[in-house]
Chain A
Amino acid sequence: MTALPATDPHTDTPSAAAQPKQTGAHAVVRTLEALGVERVFGYPGGAIMPVYDALTGSSLKHILVRHEQAAAFAADAQARLTGKAGVCMATSGPGATNLLTGIANAYMDSVPMVILTGQVPSGLMGTDAFQEVDVFGMSMPVVKHSIIIRDAERIPELIAEAFDIAESGRPGPVLIDMPKDILQAEAYPTLPPVSRPTAGPSRADQADVDAATALLSQSKRPVLYIGGGVALGGAVDAVRAFMDRTGIPAVATLKGLGCPHPDAPDYLGMLGMHGGRAANVAVDECDLLICCGARFDDRATGRLDSFAQGARIIHMDLDSAEIGKLRAADVAMAGDIADALDRMDPGYLDITEWREECRDRKARHEFRYDAPGNGVYAPAMLKQLSEAAGDDFVAACDVGQHQMWVAQHCRFARPEAHLTSAGLGAMGYGLPAGIGAAMERPDSKVVTITGDGSIMMNIQELATARRYGVPIRILLLDNASLGLVRQWQEYFFDQNFSEIDLYDNPDFAEVAHAFGIEAFTVHSREEVPGAIERLLNSRGPILAHVLIDPRENVWPLVPPGASNADMMED
């Protein structure tokens, strides 16, 4: 490693010779600054204290959350909005283990993240020291890569490498474990270049593009099956252009929502367990399924051997390991999805009859919002909310019935407007994700949509929202139960309602008040328009506590193990 020059070219600060003592911890902070990081979510503790000491005077803005899991979720949401790695940090032992759910969440949804953990001193590692856990080992199944820093002089190089790995190719979380003695060691390393080189994605072979085009030309009933890889690969505009050019009906996964334009006439909505009839039947009846950045996840396919069983498969993905993993592909196209779609030109497609059939089915199975009674009908409220918020709407969902209602009834003009824990399904994501999103996009209408079960998993983050004056709106749909579990028990466990009753919830508006946050309760349908207006017109933080009928279910529903064509409807 080259020694620092008299003046560091990246920071214009005096080098080692002119500086007071610098440590590994200073190198961590200065490297993050040099890499353009502006915000770090974290929580201090013993082993990482040198980094917190070095934060003094730094341009980094540290956001003190109230639980490490929230730091990871907030960094995750920021990353989903920006495409740049979110950064979180915590101390060793319990601090590190509390991060794990958030790391797994980022891994399952391919979110770029850099996680910094303090570790006990090198000499104590492997001795069961106080607050020692092997987070390097524990996190291996849920990280893209991980590093233990053993030499303070290599800190800038390794942190820069972590960002490069996290953001390049198929993104993912990278963990950096930092023993305390390394953080305290005297170090004057060279900082990394300010702009990091990133390799472009590979291109699909022309022979595969030609084969796919030939299959498409022969197809009478093609369907585009769009997943989260489209947004991750920067292929949203290419997908939309391809849909316009070919008129092929399209369906989206939970993570694919917002990739097709929501008003596109041939967009049929979400497929899968809680997908619409138009989407699921189209896939069931298609003769060619063009999979773009999706991975045949069980929640999307239902019973796999009956999923699009009469169809040939074209599978495009940046990650070649996803192709053929669960369903063999007739044409496999590993590489840049946008590039591959742009190169596919099938000419005139004789699919008019198929398009009309799909459009007609879509029109016949539109969601209805005329639920009887005067109680708040959550799907209608969510639809009104997203329409009122318009293209500035960013939803940070929690997990449960409300998450599926958001996916079904809200309108997303872009995929990054829909922040949801898709792969992991982690309750507790919504509030910290909303905080991360609202800090990153303070001028957007960021709304955390949560339930009474989910918000209790990270309700302490109301304090974070209050401390930093985060412009977040929280819509809490309270059915006094774990609704999605209750729904499954109702239909698949002989109505044996086991441990789902949350009758003794606190008054959430009062809880919010106790945190110093504006809050109000909505009891009836007639209050909904005013509540939405109040929520959206507030700068936030603000919480609307909405009481809904515990018996309300999410429809349609594909029973577990069933084919998507065998969906249950209300």
Chain B
Amino acid sequence: MLRTSSISRPTKLEDLLSSKEIARLDPLDLASRRVFFGKLKGERRSKKRGHSVEFADHRPYVTGDDLRHIDWNIFGRLDKLFLKLFLEEEDLSLHVVLDASASSDCGEPNKYLFMQRCAMALGYVGLVNLNRVACTIMSGIDADAAGRGEQSAAREAKPASPIRALRDLRGRRRVHDLARFICATMPGGTLSFRAAAERIALSRRGKGVMIIFSDFFFKDGYEDGLRILSGHGYDLILVQVLSPQELEPPIKGDLRLKDIEDADTAEVTISAPLLKRYQANLAAYCQKLREFALRRDMALLTVRSDTPVDSLVADQLRRLGVLK
């Protein structure tokens, strides 16, 4: 929750992933709950839609879904719209999205550092398994300004260039390129998630798995952005990263809480009922996000920023079906 007091920014791959973690990631490969067309010949079986015999699941239709996936038989019988879900296909595209707003640059351990490391781990897995890997960083500050270290000026500036992206990486050789890209971006500024989502959707190429790392604390709401992204054929995985301080605030006394992004203030006198109320609100917020994600066929994972990266990637994402 609080601004990280002193942080050492990663500069290269070794800062993001240790060799031990890399060794643990090596046997993993990407998976998708959905079947996509491959762009290139890959190592996977092709299971194109319509030809697939392995039916996976049904889910309720929501606005924006591809009408071609509606199971008309069911509609005929039940008069309700359901989508048919199918199994994976061969050539998988992995798109990792990071939220680099100022609110991510908080917590102990730092949430953004955690996101960087997770993105690197997933990118590594995707690259070594010959998948196409893209990485997008949604930042509130101008990329050039961030490069010059003018964070304070940039934070107050309007988000001129909401996203920075690195696309079409493939193969183990591009691992260091990915690491450099991830390390180069400094977090800060106010992020308009909706605008960023639109930019991502516009610049999208092909389909695949999109994993968004964020705390999803957006003042203008996360719903629009997610709706935009979900409508474009991506298998969306949301990873909500919360710092331990956000879950259990270690603060007391009479405080004027200042939002790190928009300098909004809230005057509070910390008391047991207030903390209880805060935690109830946080739980409700997370639950609402979860329900939203479920209705949109997205997967949501809420993690603490002090979770070990290899444990998250190798265990929790694997259990979710993102990796195998």
Task: Tell me whether A and B are bound partners.
Answer: no
